[in-house]
């Protein structure tokens, strides 16, 4: 299997980690779209949100709990946005589920 995020998780591709526990890792996006742009990534290889199963429910909760720790660490207590691109139509490019955590300035127009 050829997955960039699995390679980052294994340490074979370098990244700037901002958080790690037994289930989730978070690192800076290579191409940041905001002053803070972190990717929160479950360590288990799951291709997308659409590929989640019942047994992964806890993992998604853990990813969101990690965002609180990251917010405190990176000074995002005033707010941040979490985005998941799922599948082709949403423009998902890396086929390993991840949540973009964006912040560090007041955000512009919301999609929804």
CA distance 106 to 13: 32
Is 98 designated active site? yes
Taking the CA of residue 6 as centre, how many other CA atoms within 13 Å lie in the half-sphere pointing to its CB? 9
**48 near 38, Cβ under 8 Å?**
no
* Residue 10 is a binding residue for ligand 5GP (CB under 6 A): no
What tokens were used for 48? 């997308």
CA distance 91 to 68: 26
- 8-state DSSP, 78: T
* Residue 27 is a binding residue for Zn ion (CB under 5 A): no
Q: Of residues 23, 37, 45, 98, which has the active-site annotation?
A: 98
The entry of ligand 5GP, Zn ion, none near residue 30 (CB within 5 to 8 angstroms by kind) is ligand 5GP
91, 108, 110, 112: which one binds ligand 5GP (CB under 6 A) = 91
* Residue 48 is a binding residue for ligand 5GP (CB under 6 A): no
Residues that bind Zn ion in the complex, under the rule CB under 5 A? 3, 5-6, 45, 96
Just list the catalytic residues.
Answer: 98
Which residues of this protein are in contact with ligand 5GP, per CB under 6 A? 4, 13, 15, 27-31, 39, 85, 91-94
């Amino acid at each position: 299997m050829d997955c960039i995020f699995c390679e980052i998780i294994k340490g074979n591709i370098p990244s700037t980690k901002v958080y790690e526990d037994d289930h989730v890792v978070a690192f800076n996006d290579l191409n940041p779209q905001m002053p803070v742009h972190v990717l929160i990534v479950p360590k288990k290889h799951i291709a997308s949100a659409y590929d989640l199963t019942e047994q992964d429910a806890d993992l998604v909760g853990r990813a969101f709990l990690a965002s609180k720790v990251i917010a405190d660490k990176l000074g995002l207590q005033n707010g941040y946005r979490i985005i998941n691109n799922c599948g082709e139509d949403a423009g998902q490019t890396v086929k390993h589920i991840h949540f973009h955590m964006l912040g560090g300035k007041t955000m512009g127009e919301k999609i929804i």
